Structures are given as C-alpha cells and as structure tokens.
Structure 1
Amino acid sequence: MTETMRAVVYNEVGRRPGIREVAVPDCPPGGALVRVEATGVCRSDWHAWRGHDPVPLPMIPGHEFAGVVAEVGPQVVGFVPGDRVTAPFVNGCGHCEWCLRGDAQVCPNQTQPGFTRAGSFAEYVVVTAADTNLVALPDAVSTDAAASLGCRFATAFRALTSVARVRPGDEVAVFGCGGVGLSAVMIATALGATVTAVDVSDAALERARELGATHNIRPAGGGALEQSVILATNGGAHVIDALGSASTAASAVRSLRRRGTHVQVGLMLGDNATAPLPWDRVIAWELTVAGSHGMSARDYPQMLGMIADGRLDPARLIGSTTDLGGAIDALVAMDAPQPASPGITIARP
C-alpha cells in the first residue's frame, strides 16, 4: 500500500479545489479501505463546497463511488480484498437500533464521505462499518454505472419503492429533472407507472421523455402548474420533488391526488428548510408527506437485480467520464445555470 494518494481537496468554501498528495486514510477495525475506480460528481458536493451544507475543512469531496476493496479491518467478516463494491452515501454505525433494523440511512451516528470525513474524489476512500455499509457488485453492473448509484439513483429508487410504494398503473409526477429527477423518471417507468416530468429546461424535459416520461410540463405562473399536472395525471399524482424549494414543494403537494403521497428528496436548505405547506389540503385529502434520505445497503439487492436483468440502466444517465481534474471542472461549473441536461459526470481517479 502506498503511503500517499492523489485527491481533490478544498480548504476554503467556494475557493477552487486543487489536486493534492495526501495520506492514504487508515482502515478502521470494522471498516474497509476501497480503491476508487469511479466516482460521481453530484450537486450535493457543490452544496458542501459552496457552504450551503457546511462541512469540516479541509475536505475531500465525493460520496458516489465504486471500486475494489484494498484492505479490511479485523472485525469485518463479509468482505475481503479484491471484492468489487459500492456503498450508500450514508454510512451507518452498524450498532444502533436503526442500523440493526436495516435503516442505516437514518442512523443518528452516521458518517458521510465527502461531508463528515474524506470523500471519494481520491484514489482511496474509507467505508466505515463495512459489514453494514458495503454492497457487493454483480458482474453485470459496470463500475461506472455503480458509481452513479450511491446518492441520486439509490435515493430515487427508495423514494419510489419503499416510501411512495409505486405500483404498476400509478400516476407519478417528478418535479425537477436533474440527476435525482431523471433517475426517478427511469425507475418509475420501470415500475410500470405513468410518469409526468416537470422542469423549466426544455432539454431536461426532452431527456425525461427519452427515459420514459409520457407528459412533459414546463411551469408557468399563476397556479397553472398544479392544474397542468392534475390534468396530465387524470386527477393528480404521487409526487417526487427532486428539486428542493419552498414554491416547488407547495406546488407538488397541491398536485397530488386524494390520498396521494409527496416524497421530498431534493434538499431543502437555507430558508427553504422551514417552508410552509398547504396543510389544509394535506388534512382534507388525507395526503402523505414524507422525506427520503438515501438508501441503506440492505435495500440494494432489489435495485441491483433490476439493473442486472436490464429493467434499469443507470449507465444511460452518464453524460461524460473524466479524471480528477475534470471532476473539479464539473464541480465548479455547477455555479452556472445548467442550460441543458448533460447527464452525470463520472471521474476515474
């Protein structure tokens, strides 16, 4: 094992990161050291770098990755060096009541690479509590595709399957067609739902159509958005809000059918964290409003099975591949409005 590695590091909020030689992290007794073969560049990384989601500094960003186990701690029983693996962006502690129930995504003692500790924009990354958090990759799932799963795709998958419990024939509206939203369009379509995509970008809507959306809606003012969604979905939908703003969340709730479900997956940061909702509608129509925060390793087999048998193809969401320098460029480029839907950027350290 080399003693140093190349990694993307930022020391100040908003200052362009650089590539540095840093120490390879130690492998914890119950954890694993993973050699990163591919890592996704996610808007959540940008939020942290910009200070919207404060992290300790200096920080190595990156939380979506796939690679090969380089070393395991003496307490690990389920994995050995050489295993192809990925992991959720939330690493549960492995011991609390939530982890023992399989709900590591809400572990009160969780750590997150790229947010609470060094992330995957590097040659190596640590996964804590490896027997709880590592996921073995089937041969049928490529490394690049697996690197797109840890945040956006897995979050959308659990939001649809475990929270909204989407069934064939359901009407689903996806608000916001970035990485999470497009993942949701693909997954909802594979589950047999009829999907309506909502976004301000014509390019994003066209991409949503390619991935299975049957209706595309570009928001207009004056309450027309909710009426458009209700009309397109034959009386209202189950809704995934993949954007994260006060106005979008309120519109999404007003677009639900009676006894419908609103699942908030887009981060609600700053003033949006305390956004009001139309609670009169929630009560009168018996609506469900739920959050969804990633997905634990326990729930990966169903998703990986659908990828392996061809029902899901996350590789279609990949827009480009690059190196660590390109990951920095992609991160910084998120400062500007994205005029098109270029897809997920995957960096290979």
Structure 2
Amino acid sequence: MRAIVYEEFSVLPQLRDIESPSTPSSGVVIDVEATGVCRSDHHAWSGHDSTITLPHVPGHELVGRIASAGPEVTDFHTGQRVTVPFVCGCGRCRWCQGGNAQVCPEQTQPGFTHFGSWADQVAIHNADANLIAVPNDLPASAMVGLGCRFATAFHGLRVRAKLLEGETVAVFGCGGVGLSAIMVARAIGARVIAIDVSDAALDRARAHGAAHTVNAAGKNSVDLSAEVVAQVLDQCPDGVAVSVDALGREDTIAAAIASLAPLGRHVQIGLLTAPPVIDMGRVIGLELSVLGSHGMAAAEYPEMVDLVIDGKLRPQDLVTNVIGLADAPAAMEALGANTGSGMTVIDLNL
C-alpha cells in the first residue's frame, strides 16, 4: 500500500510503498477514505512524543470502510463505514467498562503507538470497543475532525463540564481546537466569548458562532488577568459558567479561571510544557472545578454524531484545504510555520 513514512525526526517524510497491515484478531483493517492533518502529527514528527518508534506512519483522524475484521470482532462487518477516536481503549479494564476508554492505561493510538492513517490502510485494535459507525451520506470532511479536535472539545464541554443550553463559555485561544470548542458550544445552545491575539482568528471565531470577541494582543501576563478578564466580565458580569483554555499557557489559564462565576468549570485542553501555577485560593473559595479533556471514548460519540447529522454541528466548515496523499509531506512541514486555524484533509482518492 501507499503510506507517508518518516525514518528520522524532523526530516521530510516520503511517500512510499510498504506492506499492508495485518488484521488484529480483535481488530480491523480500514481502507482510509480521508484523514486529517493535525498539529499533534507535527509534534510527533518533531520528536516530542516518546511513544513514537521509527520508522513511522502518522495520522490519527480518519474515516473509511472496514476492509477486514479479525475473528473476535462481533459488532462490525466488512464494508461498514466507520470512524474512530484517536485514543482507543483495551475494552477490558474498569475504565473502558465504565465508558472512559480515553484514559485506558493500555490505550493504543493510531499514528502514535502504531502506524497511522496517512496511508491506504490502517489497523485499529479492539474494534468492538472503539469503532463508531457513521452514515454513508455524510461527507468525509464532516467526519475526519471527529477523531481528535472535535472529540476533545465535545468531551470537555458536554461530558466533563456538563455544559447546558443558555450558559456562557469563554474560549481562550481560537486555533483549530478552540474553534471546535466554539462550534460545539453553539451546537449545544451556549453563548460564546472568544479570546485571542489575532484579529483574523477572532473573525473566524465570530464566523463560527462566537457572540463576542476580545483581542488580547500586546497584553503581558498581568494585563491578561486584568484587562482581558474585565472585558469578559463586561459581557457576563457574574462570570462565565465555563472557561476553556485551548492554547496551553499559564497566563491564559489564569485569565480563564479569573473569568469564572462561583461554581464555574474550567476545561483544560491546551497542552503545557510545564505545570502551571493556579490560583487555588479562588478555586477553593468559589468551589470551581478544573477539568482535563483528553480525547473521547467511542461510547460518547452518538450524541456528537447526531448533532452532525442534524446539521447543528458542521465540522466540514473548518476544512480549508483538501490534498492528495502525495502532498502530505509538504503539509507536515508547513505545520511548523502555520498558525492558521483551518483544517487540511488528505483525500486518499486524489
């Protein structure tokens, strides 16, 4: 099969012919229809992920059809159109049995723990616990982003923070996952205040449903926790019900927590290079919740997929570029300089 392969970190990947994956006894091999280009792919290629062994095939956001199924698979069949979370559970541990495969200690991740979906085919382990059937008539562009950025945003807002219709959310950082959070919040019926340092990013935030935007450009860490928070509180004087840090910086986390109302919930999606200092006195005094979001279990997908089917959530609106597999190495390299929030999709049929 064709696959994008790199044998050294930060060295341009190559399109090659490699051996097709074997079918796991409890898993499947999927003919990839389309797959996403995610910043996490770039981090792995840059050597920032200790799970990667070389040579490697990236890719973890995908939709496709089952080409073969192992003898232990009972719930899915050959030819079925499916997607999959980027975190796949073992299906046996108490976390998986409780519907929380995203924190499974024995998790697998296509594109990280084994060869991923920047290829004609990809193997998925423990299929019955991890696959999600998707409608045949939905465009691939609506399905690809559900594996990572939209799943993380939906899980954080709906499952972890239990966001309700009519509540207000402040989203700090309007890149790909931040825009996904905005779109998920609007699909649920919440009001969104978006914060970023880029006017272009804030324009996109408004286009995707933000009711109000705050430009934090030029603010140092002290000002961010004062001027920016003051602008958020101008829109929601008692504080917001939910805050989201989609960037992964100590100052944005501080501002997000400072924007919360009593009993508010902060969702941390952005990854950090070092543990942040948090105003724990405010967390204790106002009984705030600080919640992490790392992917989403397959068991939680039906509600999100229904929002896509109903047209309330349109992940395809984030897609700004569709390329063929041969163009994927250049797209990987471009991620290092690209700060845009649009999504690139690799169409395996091009």
TM-score by length of 2: 0.94
Whole-angstrom distance in 1 between the partners of 2:261 and 2:328: 41
Please give the residue correspondences for 1:232-271 in structure 2 after superposition, counting only pairs within 5 Å.
Answer: 232-237=235-240, 238-268=242-272, 270-271=273-274
- 1:90-139 CA-to-partner distances (Å, cap 9, x unmatched) read 11011111111111101000010111111111110011000000110023
Question: Which residue in the other structure is 2:194 paired with?
Answer: 197
Q: Secondary structure at the match of 2:301?
A: helix
Question: Which residue in the other structure is 2:294 paired with?
Answer: 293
Question: Which residue in the other structure is 1:36 paired with?
Answer: 32
Whole-angstrom distance in 2 between the partners of 1:102 and 1:326: 37
Contact persistence 2:155–2:293 (CA under 8 A): yes
Partner AA of 1:33 in structure 2: V
Q: Does 1:25 align with 2:26?
A: no
Contact persistence 1:140–1:308 (CA under 8 A): no
Question: Which residue in the other structure is 1:332 paired with?
Answer: 333
Q: Does 1:348 align with 2:347?
A: yes
Which is worse superposed, 216-225 or 114-123? 216-225
Question: Which residue in the other structure is 2:48 paired with?
Answer: 52
Percent of aligned pairs with the same residue? 49
Partner AA of 1:175 in structure 2: F
1:204 CA displacement: 1.2
Whole-angstrom distance in 1 between the partners of 2:107 and 2:230: 40
Question: Which residue in the other structure is 2:230 paired with?
Answer: 227
1:144 CA displacement: 2.3
- 1:188-211 CA-to-partner distances (Å, cap 9, x unmatched) read 112111101111121111111011
Give the total of aligned pairs.
340
Aligned CA distance change for structure 1 residues 246 and 51 (closer, same or farther; 3 Å): farther
Structure 1 residue runs of 5 or longer lacking an equivalent are none
Question: Which residue in the other structure is 2:102 paired with?
Answer: 105
Partner AA of 2:239 in structure 1: G
Q: Does 1:209 align with 2:206?
A: yes
Whole-angstrom distance in 2 between the partners of 1:123 and 1:234: 52
Q: Does 1:64 align with 2:67?
A: no
Whole-angstrom distance in 2 between the partners of 1:284 and 1:317: 39
Whole-angstrom distance in 1 between the partners of 2:338 and 2:281: 35
1:157 CA displacement: 0.9
1:234 CA displacement: 2.7
Q: Secondary structure at the match of 1:168?
A: coil
Contact persistence 2:5–2:55 (CA under 8 A): yes
Q: Does 1:284 align with 2:255?
A: no
Contact persistence 1:72–1:80 (CA under 8 A): yes
Contact persistence 1:48–1:115 (CA under 8 A): yes
Whole-angstrom distance in 2 between the partners of 1:302 and 1:296: 12
Residue of structure 2 aligned with 1:131, choices 107, 128, 142: 128
1:177 CA displacement: 1.0
Whole-angstrom distance in 1 between the partners of 2:326 and 2:280: 47
Aligned CA distance change for structure 1 residues 337 and 226 (closer, same or farther; 3 Å): farther
- 1:301-321 CA-to-partner distances (Å, cap 9, x unmatched) read 111111111111111111111
Contact persistence 1:7–1:20 (CA under 8 A): yes
Whole-angstrom distance in 1 between the partners of 2:86 and 2:260: 29
Contact persistence 1:327–1:345 (CA under 8 A): no
Partner AA of 1:236 in structure 2: G
Whole-angstrom distance in 2 between the partners of 1:327 and 1:204: 24
Whole-angstrom distance in 2 between the partners of 1:51 and 1:174: 29
Whole-angstrom distance in 1 between the partners of 2:280 and 2:309: 41
Whole-angstrom distance in 1 between the partners of 2:19 and 2:268: 38
Whole-angstrom distance in 2 between the partners of 1:337 and 1:66: 25
Whole-angstrom distance in 1 between the partners of 2:75 and 2:214: 46
Contact persistence 2:141–2:315 (CA under 8 A): no
Whole-angstrom distance in 1 between the partners of 2:25 and 2:302: 26
Please give the residue correspondences for 1:63-212 in structure 2 after superposition, counting only pairs within 5 Å.
Answer: 63-212=60-209
Q: Secondary structure at the match of 1:257?
A: strand
Q: Secondary structure at the match of 1:112?
A: coil
Whole-angstrom distance in 2 between the partners of 1:236 and 1:50: 39
Partner AA of 1:119 in structure 2: G
Contact persistence 1:230–1:256 (CA under 8 A): no
Question: Which residue in the other structure is 2:319 paired with?
Answer: 318
1:337 CA displacement: 4.6
Whole-angstrom distance in 2 between the partners of 1:236 and 1:22: 54
Contact persistence 2:142–2:308 (CA under 8 A): no
1:140 CA displacement: 4.2
